[in-house]
Amino acid sequence: MTDKTGGAKVALEEVRFSYGEMRMHFDLSVPAAQIAAIIGPSGSGKSTLLNLIAGFETPQSGTIHIGHMNVTRTPPAERPVSMVFQENNLFAHLDVEANIALGRSPKLKLTAADRAAVESAIARVGLAGKEKRKPQALSGGEKQRVAIARALVRNRPVLLLDEAFASLGPALRIQMLDLIKALHAETAMTVLMVTHHPEDALHLDAALIFLENGVVAASGSASDLLSDKGPEALKRYMGTTA
């Protein structure tokens, strides 16, 4: 069950977008199979960046490439990405199995292969035995596991996590990060995650992208950027400068 999808490169070139007063300008590239953590103060454009990649927002100018495909105008469903939100990932009236199966067929018409994929995904995120539960009978962490399982069955090379673990406790968060790490090792997908915890990036040994005022203020390996030699703006954000 190791569909080694392999990641895809995500590249934004001269992408301009404005949201109300806020003007954003993104120019960045995340190599295939890389894990990148996006951090920055609130309102710096983190979620918007993911929305642009996922196709929920359309840039005013510039291009977005995923792999070799120009997706600037591609509808969300046709983009090779999956996204997990902080909440509302699950439909309250559908059980775990159905919520995951949606990733294979939005109409819930499943082939035998689909069923097998769903079953395996449930096992991989550690939810075996809870297939028939409704979301209300799940803990916060379990709900997010379901969402990740759905991303798995979708088999897309890019996974976007929009503060997906923000409402979980520290231990649970680490568990989820470990899950991501393991899945990443298995599938080699490209992961972009928005987080308020820079240490997540360290934990995942990820690249770090630091946004400020709608532009990429710094990027590089997490261990470099978060060290004493890191840029001033990042230190201000971290609260490590006096």
- DSSP notation for 175-233: HHHHHHHHHHHHH--EEEEE-S-HHHHHHHT-EEEEEETTEEEEEEEHHHHTSTTS-HH
55 lines the binding site for another protein (CB under 8 A): yes
Between CA 89 and CA 159 the distance in angstroms is 14
Residue 1 vs 108, nearer CB to another protein: 108
93 lines the binding site for another protein (CB under 8 A): yes
Q: Which one among 9, 13, 16, 19 touches another protein, defined by CB under 8 A?
A: 19
Burial zone of 37 (CB within 10 Å; 0-12 exposed, 13-18 middle, 19+ buried): buried
Q: Could you give the string, one character per residue 165-204, with x where binding to another protein holds by CB under 8 A and - elsewhere?
A: ----------------------------------------
56 lines the binding site for another protein (CB under 8 A): yes
Stretch that binds another protein, among 3-11, 51-59, 186-194, 227-235 (CB under 8 A): 51-59
230 lines the binding site for another protein (CB under 8 A): no
Strand pairing class (10-19; 22-30) = antiparallel
103 lines the binding site for another protein (CB under 8 A): yes
Q: Which one among 10, 35, 38, 81 touches another protein, defined by CB under 8 A?
A: 81
Residue 52 vs 127, nearer CB to another protein: 52
Beta strands in 9-109 (DSSP E): 10-19, 22-30, 35-39, 61-66, 69-70, 81-84
Between CA 55 and CA 110 the distance in angstroms is 26
Binding site for another protein (CB under 8 A): 19-20, 43, 47, 51, 54-56, 75-79, 81-83, 85, 87-94, 102-103, 106-108, 134-136, 154
